[in-house]
């Protein structure tokens, strides 16, 4: 069954790492590799500065909570191993927030709508995230 899933980081990647683009790129690679190894099909993925958007097909024999736990725990462990300064900055030892949001793909929330939504977030990352105010 296809699911759209969003989860947050403990803090923005830009706040905790000096080269956020490198970290985001590596997180995407790891998430794709983990999903492939566990038989989860990634249809769309975007690692933003402070959260992850993923459209994922999970085998019916697996619960969504299991899939998210696997992806978040392995990706965090590997990112901490590859970027030791990341763990030093996150003194709690936690990269991802505990929760997540999941939505099943269906007739009202189609694959195309979800893919468009995720791609839109990728485009937003190229623009300033805050409005500039002139005082």
CATH number, domain of 46, equals: 3.30.70.1290
Q: Which of 17, 38, 66, 117 is an active site residue?
A: 117
Q: Is residue 132 part of a domain?
A: no
Q: Is residue 112 part of a domain?
A: yes
Q: Is residue 86 part of a domain?
A: yes
Q: How many domains does the chain have?
A: 1
Q: Is residue 134 part of a domain?
A: no
Q: Give me the chain's average pLDDT, please.
A: 78
Q: Is residue 110 part of a domain?
A: yes
More confident call, 131 vs 99: 99
Helix axes 64-82, 20-38, angle to 10 degrees: 140
pLDDT tens, residue by residue, 33-85: 999 999 999 988 888 877 888 888 898 899 999 999 999 999 999 998 998 88
**pTM (predicted TM-score):** 0.77
In angstroms, the CA 78 to CA 40 distance is 19
DSSP state of 21: H
Whether 117 is catalytic is yes
Q: Identify the three-state secondary structure at position 45.
A: strand
30 close to 82: Cβ distance less than 8 angstroms: no
Domain span including residue 101: 2-124
């Amino acid at each position: 069954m296809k699911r759209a899933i969003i989860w947050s980081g403990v803090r923005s990647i830009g706040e905790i790492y000096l080269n956020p683009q490198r970290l985001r790129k590596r997180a995407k690679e790891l998430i794709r590799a983990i999903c492939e190894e566990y038989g989860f099909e990634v249809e769309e993925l975007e690692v933003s500065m402070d959260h992850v958007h993923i459209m994922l097909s999970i085998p019916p024999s697996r619960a969504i909570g299991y899939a998210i736990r696997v992806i978040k725990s392995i990706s965090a462990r590997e990112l901490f191993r590859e970027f030791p300064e990341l763990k030093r900055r996150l003194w709690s030892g936690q990269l991802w927030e505990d929760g997540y949001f999941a939505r099943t793909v269906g007739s009202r929330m189609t694959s195309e709508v979800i893919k468009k939504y995720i791609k839109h977030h990728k485009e937003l990352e190229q623009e300033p995230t805050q409005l500039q105010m002139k005082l």
